[in-house]
Amino acid sequence: MLDGLITFFASHHAIRAEKVLGRVDLPVELVPGPKELSPNCGVALRIEYDHRDLAATTLAEKNVQVDEIIRYQPRTDAWNPGPPKQRRPRFLRRR
């Protein structure tokens, strides 16, 4: 389960980290970065939190700058904004 999150200072570090960790066979997923955790970069990397030490060491060896590594679970409640509103065709709109 990918329950860890690596945040970065810039998106090119996130993309490079995905490649570096993929080469050492760590399961990773590039995701949009939560704004409340890292306003610096819009991209983050999901990892298995138990592998955080190996990930941090590997990234440091390859000079990939990391903001922080944290345990992170995205929202799991049943919140759903619903379907998008349907717009009426232009000829049916009121004037």
DSSP calls for 38-88: -SS-SEEEEE-GGGHHHHHHHHHHTT---SEEEE-----S-----SPPPPP
Q: Does 37 reside within a domain?
A: yes
Q: Decide: residue 37, CB within 10 A, 0-12 exposed, 13-18 middle, 19+ buried.
A: middle
CA–CA gap between residue 73 and residue 46 (Å, rounded): 10
Return the CATH number at 18: 3.30.70
Q: Does 77 reside within a domain?
A: no
Percent of all residues in the chain with a pLDDT value above 70, rounded to a whole number: 77
Count of domains observed in the chain = 1
Give residue 69's pLDDT band: very low, low, confident or very high (50, 70, 90).
Answer: very high
**Domain range spanning residue 64?**
4-71
Q: Does 41 reside within a domain?
A: yes
- Residues 31-46: pLDDT tens digits? 988 877 777 778 999 9
Q: Does 21 reside within a domain?
A: yes
